[in-house]
A and B are shown apart, each in its own frame.
Chain A
Amino acid sequence: MSSTSQKHRDFVAEPMGEKPVMALAGIGDVLGKRLADKGFDKAYVVLGQFLVLKKDEELFRDWLKDVSGANAKQQGDCYGCLKEWCDAFL
Chain B
Amino acid sequence: MALSSKSADEISELLDEYGIKHGPVVDSTRNLYEKKLKEAMAKGKRAKPSDKTYYREEEVTYVYRTPVRSEASGDSGTYMRSRPEWSEREYEHDTSYSGYSRSRPEYRGRDFVDEPYTYSSPSSYRDSYSRPTPVKSAQEAPKSSHLVPLWVQLVFFLAVAVFLYVVFSSMETNESLIGLE
Knowing A56-B21, A59-B21, the reply to whether A66 touches B32 (Cβ < 8 A) is yes
Does B144 interact with chain A (Cβ within 8 Å)? no
Knowing A52-B29, A53-B29, the reply to whether A62 touches B36 (Cβ < 8 A) is yes
- B residues within 8 A CB of A66? 31-32, 35
Determine chain B's interface SS by DSSP, over half rule.
Answer: helix
Give per-residue flags for B23-58: 1 if the beta carbon is below 8 A from chain A beta carbons, else 0. 110101101100110000000000000000000000
Does A44 interact with chain B (Cβ within 8 Å)? no
Q: A52–B32 contact, CB under 8 A?
A: no
Report the number of A-B residue pairs with Cβ-Cβ less than 8 Å.
28
Does B146 interact with chain A (Cβ within 8 Å)? no
Q: Other CB < 8 Å A-B pairs besides A56-B21, A58-B21, A62-B35, 7 of them?
A: A52-B28, A52-B29, A53-B32, A56-B23, A59-B22, A59-B32, A62-B32
Whole-angstrom distance between the alpha carbons of A17 and B181 in the complex?
94
Give per-residue flags for A48-83: 1 if the beta carbon is below 8 A from chain B beta carbons, else 0. 010011101011001100100000000000000000
- A residues within 8 A CB of B31? 66
Interface of B toward A, CB cutoff 8 Å: 21-24, 26, 28-29, 31-32, 35-36
- A residues within 8 A CB of B35? 62, 66
Select one of A52, A56, A58 contacting B24, CB under 8 A.
A52
Knowing A63-B29, A66-B31, the reply to whether A52 touches B36 (Cβ < 8 A) is no
Whole-angstrom distance between the alpha carbons of A63 and B31 in the complex?
9
**A: contact size bracket:** 10 to 19
Pick the most buried of B29, B31, B32, B35: most chain A CB atoms within 10 A of its CB. B32
Q: List 19 A-B contacts (CB under 8 A).
A: A49-B29, A52-B23, A52-B24, A52-B26, A52-B28, A52-B29, A53-B23, A53-B29, A53-B32, A54-B22, A54-B23, A59-B21, A59-B22, A59-B23, A62-B35, A63-B29, A63-B32, A66-B31, A66-B32
- A residues within 8 A CB of B32? 53, 59, 62-63, 66
Residue of A nearest to B29 (CB): A52
Smallest distance from the beta carbon of A32 to chain B beta carbons, Å?
A: 17
